[in-house]
Structures are given as structure tokens and as C-alpha cells.
Structure 1
Amino acid sequence: MGIESVRVPQAKVALSTASVYPESTAAAFEIAARLGYDGVEVMVWTDPVSQDVEALRRLSDFHGVPILAVHAPCLLITQRVWSTDPWTKLVRARAAAETLGASTVVVHPPFRWQRTYAREFERGVWRMADETDVRFAVENMYPWRYRDREMLAYAPDWDPTRNDYRHFTIDLSHTATARNDTLAMVDRMGDRLGHVHIADGSGSAKDEHLVPGRGAQPCAEVLERLAARGFDGHVVVEVNTRRAMSAAEREEDLAEALAYTRLHLAAPGAAPPADGTGGEQGGRRAAGRRMGRRKA
């Protein structure tokens, strides 16, 4: 029986600082270094350290963990972080990325009530992208749902592939919440897919950010498809560990997510079973979980 060759992944695997919440941004650098992540994505939010470029540079140098991406403060809870003006936020995110050596700024589509910003967003992001080598990668979002009601909270659209952007971020927890065909979205993004938030989801109305392999998203298939085409962007583990009962349990989850992601980025090409029941994919998911537990 022949031995299948294993790919050497070109994509770096980073840890989002949001993945350690409620621990601090500083803790994320320490955990990323200890578990062997290739770098971090800084979520700029209410933690003052996440907003302080010099503090971030010191953390990166001290732990030997590069900052690969900066997530601009686009969340509801960060409406006053860095500025109340959304364009100022993006200018500061770009400056932070340039100073810290990060290649990507992740940005969400505007909220619908940010009418002027939403109207100018597509042109404005292109203009800013023309002024720097930093990628502005617009992230897919989802409709907000409550019981039987659906609210379209983002404009021009929660699905960025319906607009013209130079680069995209795909978030697999968001595809679950939106109930998208994830692989079809990856195909629509094509070569403009520059950044990945790897997580999982069950299709709940909540944005779950499960450890990959614990939900219903085709996480393994996405990673293997990207690896097969030589994807050289960043894959960022952005999972929710708020329910972890201890620091050790949180690190076990993050180690499992890292092992799963590297496993499927390096896996030999294989088509998923037609019936979607698991087969080789399911075996790889189990292997990823075992690797994560051993490393933790």
C-alpha cells in the first residue's frame, strides 16, 4: 500500500486574543507561546492593553509571538474604543498593523444605523487598501434572529461576497449562525479569501464559536480545500472558552483547536464521504481531539 504525502502547510495558525476571554490580552500571548501557535490576532476591545500599540509590541517581543493581524474595534461593545468615528478606527487599526508588522486588518461590515459609513464603506475600504500593504479583509456576518424574527443589522450586507472587496475574512461560526453553505461561500470568495477565523457552530441563532470539530460546520473540508490550493493567509483560532471551568480546561480547548487546525491543513487530499457521515473526516476529527488533549 502506498504512503500518501502530507502537505507542509503554508498558512500560519494564530490565536485570537478573544479566545482567552475573560482572561486578558496579555494572557493570550502567554498561552499562544506555551501552546506553540504561530502568532496572535489582536482583538481591539475594552481591555486597555489591546488598545495600546506599545504594550502590544512589548508583549510580542517578550513572548516571541508575532502579531499577525489586528481586528478593528467593530463590535457593539467597542463603539467608543479608539474613537466613535468608524473611519478613525480603521485608520488607527491600519497604523497599529503597520507598526506591529501585522499583515491584515479584520473589519466587519457597518451596522445599518451607521448610514453614512455604510454608504461609503465599499469605496472607502478600497481607498484605504490602496494606501498600504496591509490587507483590509472584510468579514462575513449574519442576520440577527430572535424567535421567528430576523433583523438585518449590517449594511451594505452581512454577506460581503455580495459586494466588491479586495480581501475577505471567512468566519465559520458566522456561517453557522447565518446558515450559509460554507463551502459555496469559500468558492465565491476565491482568491480574495485572505484570512480565516476557524471555529464551529451548530446553526443556532447564537454566534457560538465552538472549538472546531464540535459543531456542524465543514471545518476539516474548508481547511483541506484551502491547503490544497496553497492558501498562504492566516488561519486564526477564534473560539469561545468562557465556560471553561479552569485555566487548564481553557488551554486544553485551545490546544485541541490548534491540533485540529494543523492536522487538516497538513492532511493529504481526500474527498469527504458523499453521505456526510464522517468516514475518514470523522477519524481525523477524533485524532485532532486526541492530539489536543495530549498537548494540553
Structure 2
Amino acid sequence: MPRPLSVQLYSVRDELAADRAGTLGRLAEMGYGAVEAFDVTADAEGLRRVADDLGLTVSGAHVVQVLTGAPGPVLDAAAALGTSLAIVPAGFPHEDFTTYEGLARVADRLNSLAGEADRHGLRLGYHNHWWEIEPRLESHGGRHALEVLAELLDPAVFLEVDTYWAAVGGADVPALLDRLGSRVEAVHLKDGPGTKDDPNVAVGGGTMPVPEVLAAAPAAWRVVEFDACAGDLLGELAASRTYVSALEAA
């Protein structure tokens, strides 16, 4: 059975703060079957209850807090959500991605956290932005820093590729996904003009080659996300769901 389409809850952070149950209900009504959490230490059990009541799966959880404090309570909260995927969404100095030595430091930290995650019944992953893509290491064939990092990571550590940020960083995203292969457990789908500072638009309404992206990572979780929205956020989320679902049904 194919995985349901997910949405990163950071997209609706303001709406969640005002009405969590109502906002999750709207996402379920749109046809989303899963959500990805971002603030796991804020009432994980309550979020799990609401999601379960609505028939929503928790596809993964962002756990940047594991880099700044004791990881145990953060991983406990992620596990309480019912997901098996704990994802570190950045949190390292940008300059670490410009040298092999810096990438080795990042890999060492993620590899050590992977063991801790395993003890909580979780798999650890890393989520990119543009700064892990834009640097190319000439000492390693001119490959994107994220590709070199992948080789340094323990095989247990997966990647969640933010396809829009990868494009902003200069990657041919379908080709990058092909090269990373089975390391990619999830992809973030977003769209827009392909610039660092402009807001997102509905998936399918911008510059991203969405059909080719989906084809290059057929087994990965698909997670729609808006960092910022150029229009009506809930309407754009609904349009994104309609577009991606139509592609997958074709």
C-alpha cells in the first residue's frame, strides 16, 4: 500500500497555535493522510491523540533539539508520536558543509545520535537546506556536500531531501535523488520561484520539476511544506494535495 501524502506541520504553525484540532481536521478534510511534527516536546501525546482520532499517521518528527540539550527526552517525545523517523533539520554551522573536515564532524555527531535514537526505537535522519547543497567539494569530484556527507554517515542514518532547497542550492534534483538512492527515506515537496528569500506557492505552481522528482524517489515519504506562503495557505495546501495526488494516480 502506498504511503499517504504528508504535510510538515511547520507550514501551519500559526494555525496550530490558534486551534490545533481544527487545523489538523482541515488537513484531513483536504485528503492528507499523514503529518510530520516539528515541535515534538510540546505535548506529543496530545498531538498523537488528535492525529489518531482523525486517522492521520505521523510520518516523521523533526528533532533539532537533540543538538542543543539532552537527546533522551526529545527522542522519547518523538517515539510517543508513533513515528519511527526522527529527523535533524539543520542545526550545524553552515561552514561545516564547505570542507571535508567539517562534514566529518557533522557525520560523527549524527552517527552518535543514531545509536541513541535506536535505543528509543527510532531511526535518525538528516534534512537539508540550501547550504548543504551549494558547496561542491572539488577534492571529491565536485559533488554536493550532502552527497559527501551521505558517504560518511552510518548506513542507519537516512536522508530527508528538501527538494526545493536542493534546487535553490544548484542541484539537478532528480539526478541528485537518483544518486542518493535508498538513503532517501523522505522528500519535502514545495514549490516557488527557486530563490532563497521569496515565499512558496502551491506544489505544481512554480519552477520545480515535480513529476521527475516523484519518479526519482518512488518509495520515499512525500511531505508537502511551506516555509512561507505567497497566497492563502490552506488553499495552497489543498491545491498541492490535489496536484500531487493526481500525479501519483496517473
- 3-state SS of the aligned residue for 2:130? coil
- 3-state SS of the aligned residue for 1:179? coil
Provide, for residues 232-272 of structure 1, a one-character-per-residue CA deviation record: whole Å limited to 9, x for no partner: x421111245443xxxx4322111111112222233xxxxx
One-letter identity of the residue aligned with 1:16:
Q
Aligned partner of 2:119 in structure 1 is 131
Aligned partner of 1:97 in structure 2 is 78
Match of 1:43 among 38, 41, 44: 38
Provide, for residues 53-96 of structure 1, a one-character-per-residue CA deviation record: whole Å limited to 9, x for no partner: 22212322343323221112x3xxxxxxx68x5352x4334222
- 3-state SS of the aligned residue for 1:22? helix
Structure ranking higher in helix proportion: 2
Whole-angstrom CA distance in 2 between matches of 1:135 and 1:259: 30
- 3-state SS of the aligned residue for 2:5? strand
Aligned partner of 1:20 in structure 2 is 12
Q: Is the 8 A contact 1:141 1:175 kept in 2?
A: yes
Whole-angstrom CA distance in 2 between matches of 1:143 and 1:123: 20
Q: After TM superposition, give the deviation of residue 208 of structure 1 in Å.
A: 4.0
Q: Is the 8 A contact 2:192 2:201 kept in 1?
A: yes
**Closer/same/farther in 2, CA of residues 22 and 221 from structure 1, 3 Å limit:** same
Q: Is the 8 A contact 1:14 1:40 kept in 2?
A: yes
- 3-state SS of the aligned residue for 1:210? coil
Q: After TM superposition, give the deviation of residue 151 of structure 1 in Å.
A: 9.7
- The answer as to 2:177 corresponding to 1:186 is yes
Aligned partner of 2:241 in structure 1 is 258
Summarize the alignment of residues 101-180 of structure 1 with structure 2, pairs less than 5 Å apart: 101-112=82-93, 118=106, 120-143=108-131, 159-163=145-149, 164-165=152-153, 166-180=157-171
Q: After TM superposition, give the deviation of residue 130 of structure 1 in Å.
A: 4.0
Aligned length: 228
**Closer/same/farther in 2, CA of residues 119 and 182 from structure 1, 3 Å limit:** closer
Whole-angstrom CA distance in 2 between matches of 1:209 and 1:71: 20
Whole-angstrom CA distance in 1 between matches of 2:11 and 2:194: 20
**Closer/same/farther in 2, CA of residues 202 and 95 from structure 1, 3 Å limit:** same
Considering only CA atoms, is the larger Rg found in Structure 1 or Structure 2?
1
Structure 1: gaps spanning 5 or more residues = 1-8, 75-81, 145-149, 153-157, 268-296
One-letter identity of the residue aligned with 1:235:
R
Q: Is the 8 A contact 2:177 2:184 kept in 1?
A: yes
Structure 2: gaps spanning 5 or more residues = 97-101, 137-143
Aligned partner of 1:211 in structure 2 is 202
Q: After TM superposition, give the deviation of residue 22 of structure 1 in Å.
A: 2.7
Provide, for residues 8-39 of structure 1, a one-character-per-residue CA deviation record: whole Å limited to 9, x for no partner: x7232112111224312514412222212111
Summarize the alignment of residues 66-81 of structure 1 with structure 2, pairs less than 5 Å apart: 66-72=57-63, 74=64
One-letter identity of the residue aligned with 1:162:
V
Q: Is the 8 A contact 1:137 1:195 kept in 2?
A: no
Q: Is the 8 A contact 1:224 1:264 kept in 2?
A: no
Q: After TM superposition, give the deviation of residue 171 of structure 1 in Å.
A: 0.7
Whole-angstrom CA distance in 1 between matches of 2:83 and 2:147: 24
Q: CA RMSD in A?
A: 3.2
